[in-house]
Amino acid sequence: MTLTPQVADFAKRSILCWLATVDEAGQPNVSPKEIFAVFDPQHLVIANIASPTSVRNLAANRHVCVSFVDVFVQKGFKVVGTARNVRPHEPDFSQWAAPLQAMAGPRFSIHSVIVVSAEGVEPILAPSYRLYPDDTTEASQVAAAMQAYGVQKRTSA
């Protein structure tokens, strides 16, 4: 499965993605990433802003899992594949970094770009969608999440 427009939409709606890597001893590491994007139908790009453990793990094992969820509708996607760390001195760095630099602006320095080649994509759904399909809608999930987080919809000014 490729990174479809629906996957890209959920990536844009997600505040963080979670990058799972494994070190040389098999110890997993899951790390939040704030600057990420679907680059094309086969690749995700993630900014290495402060990710020494993720980068070190990628040098030992290129297999990764990335997940992102819209916390309000409680749906998202899991992407599995392999990744490589592209550093600024490499010729294709600018290409991979372009969408991330626009997101990072002057606030964050991008030390490298983690380029994930997607090999599989699966949906992530809150259990309510499966356990109570007749009662669970995106609207009901949004309402429940807004109540749980203590937030309200913005009113037009």
CA distance 54 to 62: 10
CA distance 12 to 29: 24
- Ranges in the chain annotated CATH 2.30.110.10: 5-125
Look at residues 141, 155, 156, 153 and name the one whose alpha carbon lies nearest to residue 72: 141
In tens digits, the chain (157 residues) has pLDDT values of 589 999 999 999 999 999 999 999 999 999 999 999 999 999 999 999 999 999 999 999 999 999 999 988 899 999 999 999 999 999 999 999 999 998 998 889 999 999 999 999 999 998 988 888 888 888 888 888 888 888 887 776 6
Residue indicated by tokens 């590491």: 29
pTM above 0.75, yes or no: yes
User: Residue 15 in contact with residue 50, Cβ under 8 Å?
Assistant: no
Q: What pLDDT, on the 0 to 100 scale, is given for residue 1?
A: 59
CATH architecture of 5-125: Roll (2.30)
